[in-house]
Amino acid sequence: MRASRLVSLLLLLQTRGGMTAAELARELEVSVRTIHRDVEALGAAGVPVFAERGPHGGIRLVDGYRTRLTGMTSEEADALFLSGLPGPAAELGLGTVVTAARLKVLAALPTELRGRASRLLERFHLDAAGWFRAGEEVPHLAAIAQTVWDGMRLELDYDRGDHVVTRVLDPLGLVLKAGVWYLVAGHDGQLRTYRISRARGVRPLPDRALRPPGFNLATYWADSIAAYERDTPRIEVTLRVRRDASRWLDDILDSSPLATAVELPDDQPGGWRRVRVTFDWPREVAGRLLALGGSIEVLEPLELRQEIAGIARDALARYGESTELAAAGRS
């Protein structure tokens, strides 16, 4: 345990430069006294580490000192090679970079871990996108990623659905969620999220991006997802669902509403279930449920049942007429 912590301490100093004992203690979840003992142990082992006193002091390595990649456990090697998603890396323009990095890490690993990591690549593949979804076209992703990395502003032409708007943004970070890329950026003093597949043009600007003090991308994303899920409009629907159709309904609905459905008593069960289900985005529910045909029946609310009936009548009027014409033509 201590050997692993010593390696982590050494790598922290190597990657971040000088850190105070308190900062190292928080990072490694130990006491400040333990950090001082670990620093003494590193020094005794020949590592050129030293402590500086004063307001700008801290624990540092001698300039230019680099350690070889040692001390990695088999679990850490597994996690490292599973973390590299080749698809997203290629979209960012980093596919060859990821490949080269893997080769270098493999060369530096001990023999037993090198074989384990190679087997992992042969036998595991990560695919972040959902089923029945073609990958989104993101031709401007690499350009946007460059501004994020460089910390520069950009001018973005963004398709809002009904029209295209142009915004000057302070790019703060990129997020890959369920196979979809998003840009988190500042605009007019507010943090906003943009779906990158809707970008219609990107122009880097010469100005430095303004980054809010203390901004943390992971924290912002978790908070925004929680707010989105909390504020999403919903509708409660009572359905009769054919039992033999339950398994594939989740795929068609692109969610898992039946997994959380409340079972209700049914005086005519037969091959059906009577359930109460909560759906997101009420305006879309009628069309989604109509696509399930006779596998379901909406019982409540009455307004939704009437909306589905109206859509079905319109479809029948259109397709019924064309079917009759086609039949007449064949005769």
DSSP states of 193-214 as a string? Answer: EEEGGGEEEEEEEEEEPP--TT
**Region 225-253: what's the mean pLDDT?**
79
- CA–CA distance, 292 with 270 (Å, rounded to integer): 19
Cβ atoms of residues 167 and 155 within 8 Å: yes
pLDDT value of position 207 = 95
Domain 141-230 has CATH 2.60.40: no
Tell me the percentage of the chain whose pLDDT exceeds 90: 25
Band of pLDDT at residue 99, cut at 50, 70 and 90 = low
Judged against a pLDDT cut of 90, whether residue 147 lies above it is answered with yes
Backbone angles phi, psi at 128, to 5 degrees: -80, -20
Residue 53 has pLDDT above 80, yes or no: no
Domain ranges of the chain: 2-61, 74-123, 141-230, 234-321
Distance CA 82, CA 75 (A): 11
**pLDDT, position 256:** 59
Domain formed by 234-321, architecture = 2-Layer Sandwich (3.30)
Rounded (5°) CA angle 153-94-120: 140
Model pLDDT, residue 158 = 96
Question: Can you name the CATH fold of 2-61?
Answer: Arc Repressor Mutant, subunit A (1.10.10)
Structure token digits, residue 312: 């079905």
132 DSSP 8-state letter: T
Q: Could you tell me which of 151, 140, 257, 260 has the C-alpha nearest to residue 203? A: 140
Angle at 183 between CA 180 and CA 188, to 5 degrees: 145
Residue type, 122: E
CA pair distance 232, 54, nearest whole angstrom: 52
Q: Kindly give the residue spans of alpha helices, DSSP state H, lying in the chain.
A: 2-16, 21-28, 32-44, 74-82, 86-91, 95-108, 111-123, 141-150, 217-231, 246-253, 282-290, 302-330
Q: In angstroms, rounded to a whole number, what is the distance separating the alpha carbons of residues 5 and 217?
A: 27
CA distance 271 to 71: 59
Q: Cα separation of 127 and 3, whole Å?
A: 35
CB-count burial class (<10 Å; 0-12, 13-18, 19+) for 231: exposed
Alpha-carbon distance 122 to 328, whole Å?
59
H or E element at residue 296: strand 296-300
What distance in Å separates the CA atoms of residue 13 and residue 66, rounded to the nearest whole number? 10
Return the pLDDT at 142: 87
For range 203-227, the mean pLDDT: 92
Q: What is the mean pLDDT of the chain?
A: 79
Q: What is the pLDDT of residue 300?
A: 93
pLDDT band of 167, cuts 50, 70, 90? very high
Among the listed ranges 57-71, 131-145, 170-184, 307-321, which one has the minimum average pLDDT value?
A: 57-71
Whether residue 202 is predicted with pLDDT greater than 90 in this model: the reply is yes
